[in-house]
Chain A
Amino acid sequence: MTDTLPATGQIVRLRSRTWLVGPVVEDPGHGSTVSLACLDDDNQGEELNVVWDLELDRRILSEEAWKDIGKKGFDPPRQFAAFLNTLRWNCVTATNPLLFQSPFRAGIRIDPYQLEPLRKALLLPRVNLFIADDVGLGKTIEAGLIASELLLRRRVRDIVVTCPPSMLLQWKDELENRFGLVFEIFDRAYMERIRRERGHSVNAWETFPRFLISHKLLIDETYAAPLRNWLDNLRPGSLLICDEAHHAAPASSSKYAIDSQITKAVRNLAFRFEHRLFLSATPHNGHSNSFSALLEILDRERFIRGVKVVKKNREDVMIRRLKDDLRAIGVPGFPERVVEQINLPEVLGFDRLPDDTPELALAAMLAAYRNQRLESMAAATKRQRTHFELLTTQLQQRLLSSVEAFARSLRVHKKTMERLWAKETALPADNAKVHPGLFQAVDAEDDRANLSVQDLDQLFDLETERATLASATDSAPSAVERKMLDDMSAIAERARLLPDAKVVTITQIADAQIKINRMMSNLSLMFLVIIIFVGGASIANYMYANVYERRREIGTLMALGASSGLVLRIFMLKALILGVAGGVGGYAIGTVLAVILGPKLAGVIVLPMPMLALLAVGVSVVLALAASYFPARRAARLDPCATFQEV
């Protein structure tokens, strides 16, 4: 720390930041004023006037490098020209809207269609753009491209991104990793940190140029008010990116679009930004009032709440591409989703479940039980009836969930009722507390989603018990109700143990199997017939060829005194031998193959069947003889002339 005043051009450290000293007004009596310009990367150029003597932790940084740089003298002209060119080529032109810079500085592969929002944004004097692309087309990337392009062109200095709480970290990561834009998440922790570091008087929004804030905090005046102060009526060079912008559309529950809290918050903020970028895959909720109100928040000049949106105006500010559109122009990576209806009767094989299916039976019995109880509760208070309705709704939900769940809750209910009937339990006071909210199904945004299954079951049990007690009247035990409860528990307890199986009688299975077997054997028979024909034809063919080959020998035999009958017998004997060999060999090879391959190919264990040997030999012998008869007869009637001619 020194007491000397800094000189213009010096660099000082003050309020945890580095500053360049501007004009200094000396006033030793009251304290000298120093004009400062911030040098830190995240807040470059911000001006600050301080009374130097009153600042704590002030320091003049004397270890400047200018002297050293000055000592080096001048660069040679060629080197300097190179430097100048590098600088020039690196510069972004702010004048030509069609020369993009950000795609080249982003660490991602960009599809051509993702450049369209950027093109459109740069053509607008102020970026009031609604990117309404389909889910999965990369709205975040498109918004990041626009933001970094605007930053590069110096059209934007401050960016506020607002998104659902669950998306904060994802946005932060994407912007940081893909575009090199560091964002701070604006939340309670950040505010506390800034207060610790800079004091209570500092508006946390002024401390960083790029913030992420969740929709939820935007509603909170603690965060929204300082933001409005910082923005003032219009903050030049500021950009608002509103993710899931349809949240900001007025609620559509009635004919008139009713502003929700988030609508009010966003409307109150949006116009204070110079540029606005809305992102949503579902821009229109089906109510034109709501839609026009949302567009009015985006662009007050073009749109007015309650006035029908003009197509031309909408097209000026909105980009909407569906996956179908991109597929139509041949962008890969968006396979068509085909919805196929599954007809349950075709799948299950029957038109409807039988009435004694546990789920159906239990549903009917539960409805009957409910009606019965409501009848007997005619005299009960409204509160008791409400609780009973709540209880039956809960039981219905549990039944829709599973028989197991239903059985559990029913058990609790029945036990409690029995205790009540036996007067073991006193009726609860009228103000006994039940949390109807706990009866709702658990979804991802519910705290109960973090509970273990066991805890959740116990919670349901507890609530069932409480609801039962709360709905109890001091009427006498009803035999009908008791029987209904008993019947229901009987079915539920039985059904919950049964596996989800279909009962088929053994005769049905046998019939089906017989049918299949018959079909298979018919098929085999058909193949057998075909094989016999083919086999017979080839034997006949072979025998004809053999007779032709041996015609000289046959002629010689005849000349030597062999009769036709003998020749015929010789060839038939040959056929017989062939047939026997074929039958035995075929049976042996077939059996071995079946025993080895049967288990491997068909999963069937095959045992050798000796009876088949007889069949095989019989069939093949008959086949060979029949097929050889005509060739043999031809041999017997052969013209002996062939014997005497040279062949």
Chain B
Amino acid sequence: MLRMENVSKSYTHRGRMVKALDSATLHIPAGDFVSLVGPSGSGKSTLLLMLGGMLSPSEGRVLLESSSVYDLSPSDRAKMRREKVGFVFQTFNLVPYLSALENVQVPLFLAKMEEKAQKDRATALLERVGLADRLDHKPGELSVGQQQRVALARMLANEPAIILADEPTGNLDPETSQQIISFLEEFHAEGKTIVMVTHDPHAAKRAKRTLRLQSGTITCQQADQGRQKLL
């Protein structure tokens, strides 16, 4: 499903080369649930953005369903993001002056869906995350957990095959975190491929396997056996 071949990324920061990612090779089959851990600045976000077609690598290729993402034209890449990839952010990134419903409508609007259909689908998605009674609330009027659920609904809008989550529980209390991870597990159960960056060991353990990044290098790939035991 997702494949990285010898991908490197370097920035020039104040005249010095900084390697954010160093010849990472990675394969994520369809239906996988990968958690990505590592210290701050180890290249987790960079890796995630590259997988999502948001940041081109300096070297190497990123393949999504066997097509090279960064060999596509910018508009095709935007279309690919729209149709196949869903992002979840640590800070939710909801538009503050739009209601929950309208926030969920944004990707549908970008996919040029009709307005009536947009509303119906957005309503259905919000019902699914348990916010049927919060359709017209602005993000500021929702709790952080509810905001992240709106973000989940928005992410699901275009039925993406791949979900890329950047510390989805980083701003949440343990109980809400639990709730969000449950949703992700639910999506995983529905057959979606999930890559989740996290600092939270509990959340990481809920994934099928864990990748550890250290200074831009994937140091350890382990299938999490403990998860089965915990369950």
* A contacts, CB < 8 Å to B: 552-553, 555-566, 639-641, 643-646
Contacts and interface: CB of A to CB of B under 8 A. Distances in A.
B140 interface: no
Interface stretch (B30-38, B81-89, B124-132, B204-212): B81-89
Given A559-B93, A639-B55, 18 more contacts: A552-B91, A552-B93, A556-B89, A556-B93, A557-B106, A558-B54, A559-B89, A560-B81, A561-B82, A561-B111, A562-B110, A563-B74, A563-B79, A564-B74, A640-B54, A641-B46, A644-B166, A646-B91
A639 B89 CA distance: 16
Contact of A565 (B75, B90, B111): B75
Contacts of A644: 45, 48-49, 89-90, 166
Given A641-B49, A644-B45, A561 B78 contact: yes
A561 B110 contact: yes
B107 interface: yes
A640 to B, nearest CB: 4
Contacts of B93: 552-553, 555-556, 559, 643
25 contacts: A552-B93, A553-B95, A557-B106, A558-B54, A558-B81, A559-B52, A559-B54, A559-B93, A560-B87, A560-B154, A561-B78, A561-B82, A561-B83, A562-B78, A563-B75, A563-B79, A564-B74, A565-B74, A566-B78, A639-B55, A640-B55, A641-B46, A644-B166, A646-B90, A646-B91
Given A640-B49, A641-B49, A563 B78 contact: yes
Contacts, number: 68
Contacts of B75: 563-565
B74 A561 contact: no
Contacts of A641: 45-46, 49, 55
Given A558-B78, A563-B78, A565-B75, A643 B107 contact: no
Given A552-B93, A553-B95, A643-B89, A560 B74 contact: no
A614 to B, nearest CB: 34
A561 B89 contact: no
A560 B89 contact: no
B79 to A, nearest CB: 7
B135 to A, nearest CB: 19
B63 to A, nearest CB: 19
**Main secondary structure on chain B at its contact with chain A?**
helix
B166 A566 contact: no
Contacts of A562: 78, 82, 110
Nearest to A636: B74
Nearest to B96: A553
Interface in B143-192: 154, 158, 166
What's the dominant secondary structure at chain A's contact region? helix
A561 B49 CA distance: 13
A565 B75 CA distance: 8
Closest 7 CB pairs of A and B: A561-B82, A563-B78, A556-B93, A559-B87, A640-B54, A560-B107, A561-B81
Interface in B24-58: 45-46, 48-49, 52, 54-55
A13 B158 CA distance: 142
Contacts of A639: 55
A558 B80 CA distance: 11
A560 B54 contact: no
A646 B46 CA distance: 15
Most buried by A among B46, B90, B93, B107: B93
A640 B55 CA distance: 7
Contacts of A556: 89, 93, 95
Contacts of A553: 93, 95
Contacts of B106: 557, 560
B81 A559 contact: yes
A356 to B, nearest CB: 84
B45 A564 contact: no
Contacts of A645: 45
Given A552-B93, A643-B89, A561 B79 contact: yes
Nearest to B171: A646
Contacts of B49: 640-641, 644
B72 to A, nearest CB: 11
Interface string B80-122: 0111000101110101000000000011001100000000000
A440 B131 CA distance: 118
A559 B51 CA distance: 12
Nearest to A550: B95
Nearest to A560: B107
A561 B54 contact: no
A100 B222 CA distance: 125
Contacts of B154: 560
B23 to A, nearest CB: 20
